[in-house]
Structures are given as structure tokens and as C-alpha cells.
Amino acid sequence: MGAAEAIVLGLVQGLTEFLPVSSSAHLRIVGELIGQADPGAAFTAITQIGTETAVLLYFRRDIARICTAWWRAVRGDHGTDLRARMGAPEGAPLDRDALMAWFIALGSIPIVVLGLAFKNSIESSFRNLWLIVLTLIVFGLILGWADRVGAKHRSLDELTPRHAVAFGFAQSLALIPGVSRSGGTITAGLLLGYTREAAARYSFLLAVPAVLASGLYELAKSVGDFGKGGTPGLGVTLIATVVAFAVGYVVIIAFLRLISTHSFIPFVVYRIVLALVVVVLLLTGALDAVGAAPVAG
């Protein structure tokens, strides 16, 4: 992989990570079309460090407030009263920022457990393009249905432990390329009655621990293996990650503004069209369903 290909894949990652269209599916498809075969799950995870850094920058005030409130809570009274454990006086409202930290931690458990349980499949069979075609269409239609029937009246102040777990399981579906991390969690949020903006904001915040942990793990695991056995080199991986960060930051701003006044139907249509294009490319031999995913180590 050269610098030009790395820039292309970085652009793809940055453009698609936060949209409900599946960045991992796009990297799988575009990577092969530009002659890089399947760039692999490790490359995908590492470049996501760039887009999650964009989340940290955009939501820096929210994240700082949440972390500060959580730290105050854990240093406070650890008695039996829930409000005391959350750092608030007895009878006072719960500290929503401290609760948000716990909800994000709770919602991150499913993807950690399932990610470890299905690690081998994530790096191999889940990346089959026929499966990606199916997930693009099915979960696109579910997103459109959720956007149409969702009540859209709840704010993040109404988040509960049960809802946090539901968001977490929805996020874990994105272990299969084509589902989309933001698409899955936003769909869950809409079905639970949250507004488009609330579902999207929580989706972005929820992704931070899991995606950064996955990316840093793959980065540490790949040290010494970059450029070997068909894996992309360290230099081009860093180029793609930096490009993904810059593009991803712009996409966050545009996406949050867009969904405040528009539905998700254009994304549903795009997913279906992309799936049909992939079917044509598979049937004509332009794409290989299995591909040649590089494996580090």
C-alpha cells in the first residue's frame, strides 16, 4: 500500500465512520477495488483511532464534564444510598454527568464480551462480501423503519441502565461489517423513543472506549508486523489514521446538523444502492467475496 491508497482509505474511514453506512464495509469494498485486497480488521481498527480522536476533540467539553463528575462521585461517599454514590447530597437529583459515565461503561460491556468471543470470525468470515450485502440492506431497512415509527421525544437525561445495555448490544452488532456502529446504536435509540440528535450523540460517546481500546490493542499487537505478510506498513497506516481524523471531525459537525432537520432515509437508500452495486461487482468478478485479508503475526 502506498501513500495515495492510504489517503483514499483514510478519506473513506473519515467519511463513513459516523454516518449510518458502515465504515468497515466501505474499507473492505474500497480496499479491494483500489488493488489492496481487504486491508483487514486490524487496519480498520487502527484507523478508527483517528476518527475517535475527532470525537474526543468535538465532544471535549462534554467528556471533560462527564469524567470530572464521575471522579467526584467515586471519591465521594460510598454508602448504600445511590445518590451518595453518585456524589450528590441525599434528596438531591442524581448527577446526570456521573451517571452518563456509568452508562457508557455499562453499554461498553456487550461489545467487549462479544468482540473477544467472536474475534476469529470478526477477522475472517464476518468480512465476507455476501454477508456485508445482506447486512447493508437489512439493517438499512430497519433504520428507516425505526426513523419512521420512533417517538423521538426522549433526551439523554432520560437514559436508564436498561437502555444503556440495549444501546450496547446494538453497538456490538457493528462487529459485523455492513451493520454500522452509529447505524445500529441510532436505530436502537430511535426505537427506544430518543430524538435523532440524542441517539447520535450517545452513539458517538458510547463508541469512544470500545473503539479506542480496540484500535490501541490492534496497534500494540501489530508492532513489528507492519508491512509483513501483506499487512499495510506503519507509515501508510498512520497516514490513513491522520486523514480519517481530519475528515471525521468535519463529518461529525455536518452530520449532527443534518439530522436535526432531515430523516435517515437518504442513508437507507444509499445502503441499498451500495449493496446492489456490490452484488453486480461480485457477479462480474470485480470483487472477491472472501478476499485476501492480511493477518498480522
Task: Give SS3 for 194.
Answer: strand
Beta carbons within 10 angstroms of residue 289's beta carbon: 13
43 pLDDT above the threshold of 80: no
- Residue 171 has which C-alpha cell? 453497538
List pLDDT tens digits, range 161-209.
999 999 999 999 999 999 999 999 999 999 999 999 999 999 999 999 9
Residue 280 pLDDT > 70: yes
Per this entry, what is the length of the chain? 297
Contact 116, 240 (CB under 8 A): no
pLDDT at residue 76 is higher than 80: no
pLDDT band at 272 (very low <50, low <70, confident <90, very high): very high
Please give the pLDDT value at position 155: 93
- Of 272, 276, 271, the C-alpha closest to 287 is 276
All three cell numbers of 75, joined, read 471519591
CA dist 254 to 58, 120, 122, 286, Å? 12, 35, 30, 33
- Is the Cα torsion angle 288, 297, 135, 240 positive or negative in sign? negative
- Asked if pLDDT for residue 50 goes beyond 60, the answer is yes
Tell me if residue 179 falls in helix, strand or coil. coil
- The tens digit of pLDDT for each residue in 221-246 reads 777 666 566 667 778 888 999 999 99
From the list 38, 43, 54, the residue with the least C-alpha distance to 237 is 43
pLDDT of residue 225: 64
How is the chain split among helix, strand and coil, in percent rounded to 5? 70, 0, 25
Instruction: Please give the average per-residue pLDDT across 62-87, as a whole number.
Output: 70
Residue 17's SS3 state is coil
Q: Report the percentage of the chain scoring pLDDT > 70.
A: 87
Highest mean pLDDT among 49-58, 116-125, 213-222: 49-58
C-alpha cell recorded at residue 115: 468482540
Q: How far apart are CA 61 and CA 175, in angstroms?
A: 29
Beta bridge partners of 154: 194
User: Phi/psi of residue 193, each to 5°?
Assistant: 100, 5
State which of 34-48, 87-101, 155-169 shows the largest mean pLDDT: 155-169
What's the confidence (pLDDT) of residue 47?
A: 87
- Mean residue pLDDT of the chain comes to 86
What's the confidence (pLDDT) of residue 230? 61
Left if phi > 0, otherwise alpha if psi is -120 to 50, otherwise beta: which for 2? beta
